[in-house]
Structure 1
């Protein structure tokens, strides 16, 4: 009798454990996107700090946190040092996370730049003290940028609070400065951000990105633990490698995802939405839209009266009672211009 009770207890414990694990799995957050043509859509953050500069997290903690938040690729960009890279790369390899060598630097009293993809022989010089003019006591910015390029790297203009001037323009003309942050989580309402589209960010940077053909990025600039739903740069890469990620940035295959919005070039956003949202019809003719991605989408049926607005949750579907034939949907949180939402036909 005792043995029977013990057996029943073990069985009950096993059942409860199974139910618990099933419940946990059901509530685990998904982050995956469908492929877009030949490209993998990778979630990335290219601006963050550790205790190796002014951050509060160790390298291990930062890498593990990045994995938990669903990032596919990161760069630890401590001020003036790439010291964290070797440990970060080792841990990242174990977790299946791409780690890119980088650091943060910039012009003395001015612009901040994120350096990405330099080789192991690169040594940062005069961090945040690059000189605007030749002959000053610190390295001339043109020489510093050229050194980044010589070592295989590229530059992203971080939280562009200073306005556009000759340093960034020169770097762009040389093909070294290739991207700009539209959103930086850490600066909040400061650092000359503007309140627009319901949040604080750099809307002018989006216009500059279109004018100067820069990649658009959204980064956390995390010093302590990152907030829920942090900024993400979506990178459209040919494979899951650091080289493929850097190639995608250089070729401007990026979308900035922050505060519930997607920002990017119309062509790339159209390709992303075509892969992420699929349509069909019910037997009685209603439109079914299914979301295969992690973005919560805010849609509006164009020309509908009364207005038909709907919320298409991640990995879910909606059924909309509309007329037969092609239907245009304006995605209210997908932006290809400061005043232009992406419109798709289904």
Structure 2
């Protein structure tokens, strides 16, 4: 009887086990069917990331940086280490957490409000572990017409608390003294989102900005902030030789869709370090990147375009020339081929997306022998802006 019971139990267990193709046991198992998702990593270091791919330009290291963001230590909603991990997932090289000094702990009043460096101290260990460059920074917040200013490479933000008017946090009366004190710490100062809270939602260079500029207290300016770009601000940067920035100004948690990238400042550094970034900022070697547009000096943005391309001549006859173009980077190009005395493009305007290959057909407009035709076509890159109101004009060689 005992043997029969054991046999019956074994048969019953086997039938239950095979009823739906899965073993019934107390052991954990990973789903093995095609419908199952891949096993999720439990460590950020094991995650698959898709950073923005950029070409090599001369001997520079092009660092992807975001110098303007917030956490719960002012008016943001996330913890400082989250900002580091978000940037790591997106493949950034450097960030700066820039809390409003005047509103420190606005969203976290239960935290220690006496240390204005606290968010940097919390984030630093995570940044070091992930190989991120974390630059200590802060935001000086004053009412219009003064505006907001980010200060980078802060040695001790607590030394600036004496300039906060806790009865009127936006009091602009001592802005010059505040930025002078930051300058004494060796800070790099740039003006944030110049049109913010302007009564006409415009950018305007007031007397206070001229005073700060003449005192050396404005070293850079946000040409782009989040999804906002103002051509006049880029013109100011050109005329006054200010370093151009593009930053996210994130307050909430973020997750960029596949193929999209946050606003960032591309820094052409001689080395991947805080010192390398500072030297590049001081010498205005930056390009502002936002919404697939690049704003910066032509000598910086044109190599980003040319060095991204690989071309191959597919065929040529007396009547037409066919060229294959591959974009080896993650940048997207809004291209407009220009008809000249030699070539007429069949499709003048097209988008060359990052990582993609396309072909262009050129009608030959000359009866000269094929071997004597120059192998290049002039092009406008409509999303590359070397100066306010202009687009990049370059050429594609094949």
Q: Same fold (TM over 0.5)?
A: yes
The corresponding residue for 1:344 is 394
Q: How far apart, CA to CA, are the structure 1 residues paired with 2:57 and 2:211?
A: 33
Higher radius of gyration, 1 or 2: 2
Q: How does 1:109-128 map to 2 (within 5 A)?
A: 109=144, 110-120=146-156, 123-125=159-161, 126-127=163-164
The corresponding residue for 2:62 is 41
The corresponding residue for 1:234 is 266
Q: What secondary structure is seen at the aligned counterpart in 1 of 2:139?
A: strand
Instruction: Choose from 330, 338, 354 the match for 1:294.
Output: 330
Q: How far apart, CA to CA, are the structure 1 residues paired with 2:218 and 2:312?
A: 43
Q: How does 1:262-281 map to 2 (within 5 A)?
A: 262-281=294-313
Cα drift, residue 58 of structure 1:
0.3
Contact 2:329–2:355 under 8 Å retained in 1: yes
Structure 2 vs 1, CA of residues 90 and 33 (structure 1 numbering), >3 Å: closer, same or farther?
A: same
Q: What secondary structure is seen at the aligned counterpart in 2 of 1:236?
A: strand
Cα drift, residue 64 of structure 1:
0.7
The corresponding residue for 1:179 is 220
Range moving further from structure 2, 96-105 or 271-280: 271-280
Q: What secondary structure is seen at the aligned counterpart in 2 of 1:159?
A: coil
Cα drift, residue 151 of structure 1:
0.8
Q: How far apart, CA to CA, are the structure 2 residues paired with 1:279 and 1:175?
A: 46
Q: What secondary structure is seen at the aligned counterpart in 1 of 2:326?
A: strand
> Is 1:252–2:305 an aligned residue pair?
no
Q: How far apart, CA to CA, are the structure 2 residues paired with 1:119 and 1:61?
A: 23
> Is 1:331–2:376 an aligned residue pair?
no
Q: How far apart, CA to CA, are the structure 1 residues paired with 2:58 and 2:302?
A: 12
Q: How far apart, CA to CA, are the structure 2 residues paired with 1:235 and 1:336?
A: 16
Q: How far apart, CA to CA, are the structure 1 residues paired with 2:360 and 2:310?
A: 13
Contact 2:95–2:134 under 8 Å retained in 1: yes
The corresponding residue for 1:143 is 177
Q: What secondary structure is seen at the aligned counterpart in 1 of 2:391?
A: strand
Contact 1:79–1:104 under 8 Å retained in 2: yes
Range moving further from structure 2, 235-244 or 306-315: 306-315
Cα drift, residue 105 of structure 1:
0.6
Cα drift, residue 269 of structure 1:
1.0
Range moving further from structure 2, 33-42 or 47-56: 33-42
Describe the superposition over 1:2-31 as per-residue Cα deviations: whole angstroms up to 9, x where unpaired. 9xxx9xxxxx99998xx958xxx9x85242
Contact 1:31–1:70 under 8 Å retained in 2: yes
The corresponding residue for 1:216 is 244
The corresponding residue for 1:107 is 142
The corresponding residue for 2:77 is 56
Q: How far apart, CA to CA, are the structure 1 residues paired with 2:97 and 2:248?
A: 11
Q: What secondary structure is seen at the aligned counterpart in 1 of 2:382?
A: strand
Instruction: Choose from 329, 351, 354 the match for 1:314.
Output: 354
TM-score by length of 1: 0.81
Q: What secondary structure is seen at the aligned counterpart in 1 of 2:99?
A: coil
Cα drift, residue 283 of structure 1:
4.7
Cα drift, residue 226 of structure 1:
3.0
Cα drift, residue 121 of structure 1:
7.1
Q: How far apart, CA to CA, are the structure 2 residues paired with 1:149 and 1:286?
A: 57
Cα drift, residue 130 of structure 1:
5.8
4+ aligned runs moved over 6 Å, structure 1: 12-16
TM-score by length of 2: 0.71
Q: How far apart, CA to CA, are the structure 2 residues paired with 1:29 and 1:319?
A: 26
Q: What secondary structure is seen at the aligned counterpart in 1 of 2:118?
A: coil
Q: How far apart, CA to CA, are the structure 2 residues paired with 1:201 and 1:172?
A: 21
Q: How far apart, CA to CA, are the structure 1 residues paired with 2:281 and 2:89?
A: 24
Q: How far apart, CA to CA, are the structure 2 residues paired with 1:37 and 1:259?
A: 25
Q: How far apart, CA to CA, are the structure 1 residues paired with 2:251 and 2:350?
A: 37
Q: Unmatched 5+ residue regions in structure 2?
A: 1-13, 15-21, 23-29, 40-45, 102-115, 199-203, 365-372
Structure 2 vs 1, CA of residues 121 and 50 (structure 1 numbering), >3 Å: closer, same or farther?
A: closer
Range moving further from structure 2, 122-131 or 37-46: 122-131
Q: How far apart, CA to CA, are the structure 2 residues paired with 1:49 and 1:28?
A: 23
